Structure 1
Amino acid sequence: MATVEHCLFCFETLSATLEKRSPLTLSQVQALWEEYRKTTEEEDQEDQETEASSSTPGGPLRNPAVQRLSDSSPSGSSTPSSSSSSSLEPSTTVTTPASSTNSISSKRSSELTEYPLFVTWNTVSPRTHEHSLRGCIGTFEALPLATGLSSYALTSALDDHRFSPISQRELPSLDVSVTLLTDFETAKDAMDWELGVHGIRISFYARNRRYGACYLPDVAPEQGWTKEETIVSLMRKAGWSGRKEKWGEVSDLKVVRFQGLAESLGYEEFRRWREWVESRK
């Protein structure tokens, strides 16, 4: 589902907006990334041959694009956002943190062109490499990826009411995660979902008001919560202020479970790719 190209496209969209230039399209990013990977793979092979012929201990430093091809682990993995704040906004737009990684190829993901999606921006500490949520907004409406990603890349970066808009000088400290959501199912009850597998979206009535919020699949495992703790936390994020032991007494509590894997990318890899793109002009 989510791919490196989707993340590059989000960085490209935000960077171009802040730099007041026209961004590349998603299809252009996908084509250029494929070419970039082939080029860097060839260069890396040459480096390894040179290293072997010189008999120098240890291996050469590898370009991140090549490392993604050769690693046996899922590509693009990174530390997920540690924040768990979420809220419902008008229509189907929601805010929540991002989650895990996915290694499904671009070819397979292109078979479906519309998805519900989230775009998450994190600030990465240069000293500890810890991630702090910087902006995240998504939608449960299936959108064409080309327009959905560009729209929510900017909305989550510039219009998340919990944060000030991201500035151009902040770009080098950021990484981005894209999550595409699938397999929506109505849960039988509040506990009919699996930790680490499902994200959940809840809605309920209390004090003559409807509340709603969602968490993506990795939020509960990140925080070390049980299912009940996750439900209570999510109700709190939705604005409910009742006693936590009374959570089960709210009216019409509905839970929709869903799945979704994310791909993440840091600014440094975007910068390397963007410089390569510029060098071709």
Structure 2
Amino acid sequence: MATVPHCVYCFECLSSSLEKRKPLSLAQVEELWDQYEAFSHGEDDAADAQLQAEAAAGAAVDASDTTPYKPAAISRLLNSPLSGSSSSSPAPSASSSTPSLNTTASKSSSRSSLFSLPKSLSRGTKRTSDEEEFPLFVTWNTVSSRGRVSLRGCIGTFEPHELDDGLRSYALTAALEDTRFNPISTRELPTLECGVTLLTDFEPISDPMDWDIGTHGLRISFIVSNRRYGSTYLPDVAREQGWTREETMISLMRKAGWNGRSSEWRSVRDLKVIRYQGFKASLWYGEWKEFREWVVESGRDEELDE
């Protein structure tokens, strides 16, 4: 399944590209993230112990003292860079993923047809290895100061990729080559949220309504005037938009280029539908920035270069 380190790696690839520096590898990011998590939890445990000790000491203060007791550690916790928040970017709300297919980001993706099933898929919810291959999508959103989330780029592939190569390729392609948007600039980094979706369990279905909102993504193909059209929605789209199954199908066909009557969507020629599942992880810039600063300040990036 997609993990937070996958999103961290996408931020690493994009920022290093914009800053003209060498990015960490996915394996390095995953190793460092484990260390960072252990460090953060250790700091939290120490702070909790201090709070308990100071609270116990405060309980012994004379009851006649009307001055409100406030443990000194509270302000340190609220101002700590490890508190899980950052003033540079608000915590995001749920985001919409309206993906585009890209067939030029890598050689292998150009070989897949619009409607063919991936040749091989890995399943399971355990942590993935760099050697496992997945179809995948990378989504970039912008988050306003009020928490409003807007799509900024989303591109992926149904051709399985090793994660290091696939995430690097599509993190950059979604950020810089989604033709619906201008390329993401360095100044936009603090506003970004990254989402990674690894796709699994592809199943052709004979009934276009045989899928569950919030669980399945859809990939459709149909023919109009001897031309084949196709499009896809990731599993979170229908739920976030509040659509019914039929509304989702109609929207998906409109996205593909169909302009017929909504009541006639079932009558298109050779309608094929594949449902699939996607395991998504998300991360916003503030969280990535705290991790990256910890890597630099602790000297761990220099250790990896040795």
> Which category describes the TM-score, using the shorter chain as reference length?
0.7 to 0.9
Identity of aligned residues (%): 56
Q: Is the aligned partner of 1:191 residue 2:209?
A: yes
**Counterparts of 1:1-281 in structure 2 under 5 Å?**
1-55=1-55, 56=70, 60-61=77-78, 79-82=93-96, 84=98, 86-90=99-103, 91=110, 92=112, 104=125, 108-110=127-129, 113-127=132-146, 129-281=147-299
Contact residue 140 and residue 175 of structure 2 kept, 8 A: yes
The gaps in structure 2 that reach 5 residues or longer are: 56-69, 85-90, 104-109, 115-124, 300-306
The gaps in structure 1 that reach 5 residues or longer are: 68-76, 95-103
Distance, in Å, in 2 between the alignment partners of 1:176 and 1:87 is 16
User: What is the CA deviation profile of residues 104-144 of structure 1, one whole-angstrom value per residue up to 9, with x for unaligned ones?
Assistant: 55xx32397111000000000112x1210000000011100
Contact residue 117 and residue 142 of structure 1 kept, 8 A: yes
User: What is the CA deviation profile of residues 90-112 of structure 1, one whole-angstrom value per residue up to 9, with x for unaligned ones?
Assistant: 44599xxxxxxxxx55xx32397
Amino acid at match of 2:8: L
Amino acid at match of 2:136: L
The verdict on how the C-alpha distance between 1:256 and 1:266 changes in structure 2, with shifts beyond 3 A counting, is same
User: What is the CA deviation profile of residues 212-259 of structure 1, one whole-angstrom value per residue up to 9, with x for unaligned ones?
Assistant: 000011111111111111111000001111111111111000000000
Amino acid at match of 1:120: T
The verdict on how the C-alpha distance between 1:22 and 1:261 changes in structure 2, with shifts beyond 3 A counting, is same
Contact residue 93 and residue 140 of structure 1 kept, 8 A: no
Give me the TM-score of the superposition, normalised by structure 1. 0.86
Distance, in Å, in 2 between the alignment partners of 1:65 and 1:195 is 36
Paired position in structure 2 for 1:99: none
Amino acid at match of 2:149: H
Distance, in Å, in 1 between the alignment partners of 2:281 and 2:292 is 19
User: What is the CA deviation profile of residues 20-75 of structure 1, one whole-angstrom value per residue up to 9, with x for unaligned ones?
Assistant: 000000000011111111111111111111222222469644979787xxxxxxxx
CA drift at 1:80: 3.1
CA drift at 1:193: 1.3
The verdict on how the C-alpha distance between 1:66 and 1:37 changes in structure 2, with shifts beyond 3 A counting, is farther
Distance, in Å, in 1 between the alignment partners of 2:260 and 2:100 is 17
Matched residues, number:
260
Distance, in Å, in 1 between the alignment partners of 2:249 and 2:223 is 14
Amino acid at match of 2:5: E
Distance, in Å, in 1 between the alignment partners of 2:163 and 2:44 is 32
Amino acid at match of 1:82: S
Paired position in structure 2 for 1:73: none
SS of residue in 1 equivalent to 2:153: strand
SS of residue in 2 equivalent to 1:109: coil
CA drift at 1:189: 2.0
Contact residue 116 and residue 181 of structure 1 kept, 8 A: yes
Distance, in Å, in 1 between the alignment partners of 2:228 and 2:15 is 38
CA drift at 1:83: 5.6
The verdict on how the C-alpha distance between 1:180 and 1:83 changes in structure 2, with shifts beyond 3 A counting, is closer
